[in-house]
């Protein structure tokens, strides 16, 4: 059985995961309208993945005797300047999510809720992977600089990454 404190904290994380899905969905739409098909496909896949993270947490809350809440979401920003700025935002957001997960782990340990602590280990590992992937992408973007040919190849790489993740909108 979840304590009210843990239930509330998990529900807050549900909101963060839902917001993440919306942010990446907005990024996908922006990229698509700027001719960046590969980046768009990658962002659509990221949006789907974040939604799955949210659903997994909701099921856990309900299975542990809590009540997962669906909250109102604020609209994410619709414009991202450049694809470079957008990927920096993605990285910064993943760091924010990691910090939030770490706080949840701390709360679970403080309350001696070892079942929730165990459940959250999947999210801890997932965030290490998400941050690492975002950092690699930023490093590639720095290598490209202002080279249009490099951007074309990068966009193709992002399309390949989206295809390999098993999620595609086309």
Positions at the binding site: 17, 50, 53, 94, 127
**Residue 76 DSSP symbol:** P
Burial of 8 (C-beta count, 10 Å sphere; 0-12/13-18/19+): middle
Give the Cα separation of 126 and 130 in Å (integer): 6
Give Cα 95 to chain centroid, integer Å: 10
- Annotated binding residues for Fe cation, as ranges? 17, 50, 53, 94, 127
Q: List, in order, residues 6 or more apart from 26 with CB less than 8 Å away.
A: 75, 76, 77, 78
Task: Fill in the DSSP letter of residue 75.
Answer: P
Reported as type and span, the H/E element at residue 164 is helix 148-164
């Amino acid at each position: 059985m979840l304590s009210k404190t843990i239930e509330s904290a998990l529900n807050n994380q549900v909101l963060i995961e839902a917001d993440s899905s919306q942010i990446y969905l907005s990024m996908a739409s922006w990229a698509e309208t700027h001719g960046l098909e590969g980046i768009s496909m990658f962002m659509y896949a990221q949006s789907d993945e974040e939604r799955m993270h949210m659903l997994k947490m909701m099921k856990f809350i309900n299975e542990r005797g809590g009540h997962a809440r669906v909250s109102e979401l604020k609209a994410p920003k619709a414009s991202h300047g450049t694809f470079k700025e957008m990927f920096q935002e993605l990285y910064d957001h993943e760091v924010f999510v990691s910090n939030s997960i770490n706080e949840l782990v701390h709360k679970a340990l403080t309350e001696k809720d070892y079942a929730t602590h165990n459940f959250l280990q999947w999210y801890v590992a997932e965030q290490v992977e998400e941050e690492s992937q975002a950092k690699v992408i930023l490093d590639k973007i720095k290598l490209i600089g202002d080279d249009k040919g490099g951007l074309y190849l990068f966009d193709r790489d992002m399309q390949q990454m989206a295809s390999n993740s098993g999620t595609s909108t086309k």
